[in-house]
Amino acid sequence: MLFERQDIFTRATGGYTMYRIPGICLTPGGLALAHAEARYGRGGDWDRIDIIARRSLDMGATWANPRKLLDHKDFGEGPLHNFNTIIDHENRIVHALFCFGYARAFYMRSTDDGVTFSQPRDITATFEAFRSEYDWGVLAIGLPNGIRLRRSGRLLIPVWLSTSRTSAHRPNRCATIYSDDDGDTWQRGEMTPDVVPNLNETGIVELEDGSVLLNMRNGIGVQRRIISRSPDGISDWSIPQLDPQLLEPTCQGTLFRHSWSHEGESRILFCNPDNIDGKDAKGSSIFRIRKNLTIRLSLDECQTWPFAKVIDAGYAGYSALAVCPDKSILCLYERGAVSSGDSDDHLSLVRLDLEWLTGSKASNA
């Protein structure tokens, strides 16, 4: 049984106010790449932000020193944000997408397991293609990762848009963007049906039948996650519905495939702060206290979640998941000290296995 924890990034170190919005992936070569938003000023979404990363050669046991992947000064005075990866094992590429100032989007790639990346290429025109349908003032890529479809090789990543021209980011809607040529060009997909006014920060997973499921942060005050399904990841999205099993404190959550049926059993993971009690520090009627970070396991393509285990019962916020070559699980998440009353003092990494999650040695097969 495996459960190990360590802090990867800590508030007020490296010249930054804080680190937020964790992301983690296992590169085609089996290296772990952990990344985060390194924030100046007050640490808000609109302050100056760089993108920082650390690499591990031993599945997260030890880590190289942090290095700056992207410097905000190369783009302007504002935030770099929503850095996401898509792993292409077949072609050994780490695709990366990110945003600047909630107004521009970029793409770059690495062919050496995240040691170096190509020059960022502006793909904002892909988002402009939404404007005739939805006159957005804010754009963002979903968190914390995209996917590559098994059969077609299509690269897919969720996005969200808002008609707001302020920092409120409300109302908003979700969609996907995609590439059918290994990241050379990007196109817009269809938006999910406009029945819930505030959906964003979307998790994504491919199901066994090739369809795609979105799991969306729900900001309407009904404390449950929202899901929608498409046959190809870009069109014919189903009417968004509540998942009654997944509590929603109004926070990002992570959806990630652990294994396929041909590997022994289909397993999908979900992680978020499993709490709908209390109100956040601002006393919002929508935002609940971000605590009780819980990881869940589905064996039936996200229909039910029979296994659930608390990773951190304290203050905990955004999270990201990755699966190691030995099928152990990495979870990088925002963790708060008990004394702080907040969830962003550290970005902490937990490495765990299925035996810890399910209580069964046989589940690790």
**Confidence check: pLDDT of 168 > 80:** no
pLDDT in tens, 146-164: 999 999 999 999 999 999 8
Q: Which of 221, 222, 205, 225 is nearest to 213 (CA)?
A: 205
**Confidence check: pLDDT of 285 > 80:** no
pLDDT at position 361:
75
Element (H, E) at 212: strand 212-218
For a pLDDT cut of 90, what percent of the chain falls above it? 89
pLDDT band at 283 (very low <50, low <70, confident <90, very high): low
pLDDT at position 287:
79
Under a CB-based contact definition with an 8 Å cutoff, are residues 67 and 54 in contact? yes
pTM: 0.96
**Confidence check: pLDDT of 347 > 90:** yes
Instruction: Kindly report the average pLDDT of the chain as a whole number.
Output: 94
**Confidence check: pLDDT of 187 > 70:** yes
* Sheet (strand 241-247) strand order: 199-206, 212-218, 224-230, 241-247
pLDDT at position 166:
74
Distance CA 8, CA 63 (A): 8
pLDDT at position 339:
60
**Confidence check: pLDDT of 310 > 70:** yes
Helices (H), the chain: 124-128, 354-358
**Confidence check: pLDDT of 341 > 80:** no
Which whole number is the average pLDDT over 310-314? 97
Q: Which of 4, 69, 2 is nearest to 33 (CA)?
A: 69
pLDDT at position 279:
76
Under a CB-based contact definition with an 8 Å cutoff, are residues 127 and 187 in contact? no
**Confidence check: pLDDT of 52 > 90:** yes
End-to-end CA distance of the chain: 13
pLDDT in tens, 63-85: 999 999 999 999 998 999 999 99
**Confidence check: pLDDT of 252 > 80:** yes
Distance CA 172, CA 169 (A): 7
pLDDT at position 362:
54
Q: What's the token pair of residue 40?
A: 């100046």
Distance CA 215, CA 234 (A): 15
Which whole number is the average pLDDT over 115-136? 97
Q: Which CATH number fits domain 3-364: 3.40.50.300, 2.120.10.10, 3.40.50.10090, 2.60.40.2380?
A: 2.120.10.10
Which whole number is the average pLDDT over 103-123? 98
- Per-domain boundaries in the chain: 3-364
Return the number of other C-beta atoms located less than 10 Å from residue 5's C-beta: 14
Under a CB-based contact definition with an 8 Å cutoff, are residues 21 and 81 in contact? yes
Which whole number is the average pLDDT over 112-124? 97
pLDDT at position 340:
61
Element (H, E) at 295: strand 291-298
* Strands 155-162 and 147-148, sheet pairing: antiparallel
DSSP of 57-111: SSTTSS-PPPEEEE-GGGT-SSBEEEEEEEEETTTTEEEEEEEETTTEEEEEEES
Range of lowest pLDDT (140-144, 167-171, 188-192, 228-232)? 167-171
Q: What are phi and psi of 125, to 5 degrees?
A: -55, -30
* Residues facing 295 on adjacent strands: 271, 309
